[in-house]
């Protein structure tokens, strides 16, 4: 690591990948946030200062108390810190990471109000005492990541208000790597996070976010829910987040984006590495009117229409590694109706049909994008037609055979009686046969018939 120069806004550092890992393993709090968001820094508008805010280097005479890897099994008391003779300073950073602490008691330390940052990450913390942090009145950063806290341990619904303490100055809170499982309603509302700007709930095995679970964090700017097990989102899960600028929902199990909360200040939305197949029309547009960067990489998107994404307001959209079907449904992209999607997206690589597999849709013409009836579709239509023909044919045969049982197939009129007479007894040559239906009489002369037929 090399500090190149110092300015009034902080210090500028040149460091290698190895240095970053060393800093991370040492758990230096000022670099924790930066390291956790390094994958995002390639996006436009992201800078270290955006996430770090006011760092300890900007405070007068900052003091760093490093007790990481000290094999501590309990939270140290005031006697432990007296040995250090550390000067009184409003910017103390207390690092107790990588120990074996299981319980956080009420912290009673000398100059407790001078602690600016507390790092308790990578311990075995299961419980936190009521009002444990009440004496840390100037605490700005709290790191509880990679412990054993479950959702019930921080549930603000079943505990009295401010049980953990009043966090009126806290800006950065990290819970990543705890086995929460769920987040109940009012969990964070109860602790008066009036100034909280950064909340990390990544890798917490969260399956459910209840309504109002992340509520009324008026100044929250960054919310990380990546690497969880969320399969759906409700519009009431995030309410009152009027200043939220970055929402990371990557590496979850989302399949359908059918509803999103109203996030009027949202600039960056990360939905990559899910299993998303459908985004309802205008959902993103209606939720995030100021969104300018959207990541949908590595999902299961096959097609989209002009209303799927708010392309008129997006500056950058990442659509790589989806099984796109380049057919007539995607023709609008090449028909001048895409609001400059080609310049906003790096590529849209076709997976289907096989003749275009591996090709960028922007290298095709609109005439190439056709929808042909598949063999299975044609076969299904043929079978349906044959089935209907057999049904109607069978009905016709049945009706024809039983036609005499239906009045509509019988001749109207009464019964007919046939009689015959001879004009003269001697005249055996001619006879008259008469038919009568009781209404009229018809006479017909016929030749004499053989006697055996009479």
pLDDT digits (tens, 9 = 90+) for 111-131: 888 899 999 999 999 999 888
pLDDT digits (tens, 9 = 90+) for 392-430: 888 888 877 776 766 665 555 555 555 555 555 555 555
- CA atoms of 67 and 71, how far apart (whole Å): 9
Which CATH number does the domain 2-368 belong to among 3.40.50.2000, 1.20.1090.10, 3.30.360.10, 3.80.10.10? 3.80.10.10
pLDDT digits (tens, 9 = 90+) for 223-273: 999 999 999 887 788 888 999 999 999 999 999 998 888 899 999 999 999
Question: 257 Cβ partners below 8 Å, 6+ apart?
Answer: 233, 271, 276, 278, 279, 280, 283, 284
Pairing assessment for the beta strands 2-7 and 10-14 based on DSSP bridges: antiparallel
pLDDT digits (tens, 9 = 90+) for 39-81: 454 444 444 444 445 554 445 557 888 999 999 999 988 777 6
Average pLDDT, integer, range 189-193: 70
- CA atoms of 65 and 212, how far apart (whole Å): 37
- CA atoms of 374 and 371, how far apart (whole Å): 9
Q: Is the pLDDT of residue 390 over 70?
A: yes
Q: If you count them, how many residues does the chain have?
A: 454
Strands (E), 222-341: 222-224, 238-239, 246-248, 256-257, 268-270, 278-279, 293-295, 316-318, 324-325
- CA atoms of 64 and 57, how far apart (whole Å): 11
Angle (CA) 46 245 140, round 5° = 85
Q: Which helix (H) or strand (E) holds 183?
A: strand 182-183
**Residue 93, SS3?**
strand
pLDDT band, very low/low/confident/very high, at 278 (cuts 50, 70, 90) = very high
- CA atoms of 81 and 69, how far apart (whole Å): 16
pTM of the model: 0.71
């Amino acid at each position: 690591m090399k500090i190149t120069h110092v300015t009034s806004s902080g210090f500028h550092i040149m460091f290698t990948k190895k240095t970053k890992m060393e800093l991370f393993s040492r758990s230096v709090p000022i670099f924790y946030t930066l390291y956790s968001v390094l994958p995002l820094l390639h996006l436009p508008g992201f800078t270290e200062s955006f996430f770090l805010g006011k760092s300890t280097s900007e405070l007068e005479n900052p003091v760093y108390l490093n007790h990481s890897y000290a094999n501590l099994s309990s939270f140290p008391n005031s006697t432990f810190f007296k040995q250090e003779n550390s000067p009184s300073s409003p910017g103390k950073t207390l690092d107790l990471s990588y120990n074996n602490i299981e319980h956080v008691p009420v912290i009673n330390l000398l100059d407790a109000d001078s602690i600016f940052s507390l790092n308790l990450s990578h311990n075995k913390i299961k419980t936190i005492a009521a009002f444990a942090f009440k004496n840390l009145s100037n605490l700005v950063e709290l790191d509880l990541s990679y412990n054993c806290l479950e959702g019930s341990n921080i549930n603000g619904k079943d505990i009295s208000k401010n049980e953990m303490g009043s966090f009126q100055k806290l800006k950065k809170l990290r819970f990543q790597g705890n086995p929460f499982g769920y987040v109940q309603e009012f969990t964070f509302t109860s602790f008066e996070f009036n100034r909280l700007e950064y909340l990390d709930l990544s890798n917490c095995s969260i399956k459910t976010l209840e309504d109002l679970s992340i509520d009324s964090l008026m100044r929250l700017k960054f919310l990380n829910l990546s690497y969880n097990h969320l399969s759906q989102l409700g519009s009431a899960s995030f309410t009152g987040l009027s200043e939220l600028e970055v929402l990371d929902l990557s590496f979850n199990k989302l399949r359908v984006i059918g509803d999103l909360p109203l996030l009027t200040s949202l600039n960056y939305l990360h939905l990559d590495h899910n299993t998303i197949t459908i985004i309802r029309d205008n959902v993103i547009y209606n939720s995030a009117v100021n969104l300018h960067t959207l990541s949908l990489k590595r999902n299961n998107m096959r097609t989209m229409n002009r209303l799927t994404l708010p392309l008129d307001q997006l500056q950058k959209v990442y659509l790589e590694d989806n099984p796109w079907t380049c057919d007539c449904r995607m023709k609008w992209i090449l028909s001048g109706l895409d609001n400059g999607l080609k310049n906003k997206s790096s590529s849209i690589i076709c997976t289907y049909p096989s003749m275009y597999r591996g090709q960028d849709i922007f290298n095709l013409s609109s005439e190439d994008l056709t929808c042909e009836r598949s063999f299975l579709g044609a076969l299904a239509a043929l079978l349906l037609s044959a089935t209907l023909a057999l049904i109607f044919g069978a009905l016709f045969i049945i009706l024809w055979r039983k036609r005499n049982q239906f009045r509509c197939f019988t001749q109207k009129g009464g019964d007919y009686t046939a009689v015959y007479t001879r004009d003269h007894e001697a005249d055996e040559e001619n006879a008259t046969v008469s038919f009568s239906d009781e209404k009229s009489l018809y006479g017909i002369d016929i030749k004499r018939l053989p006697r055996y037929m009479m």
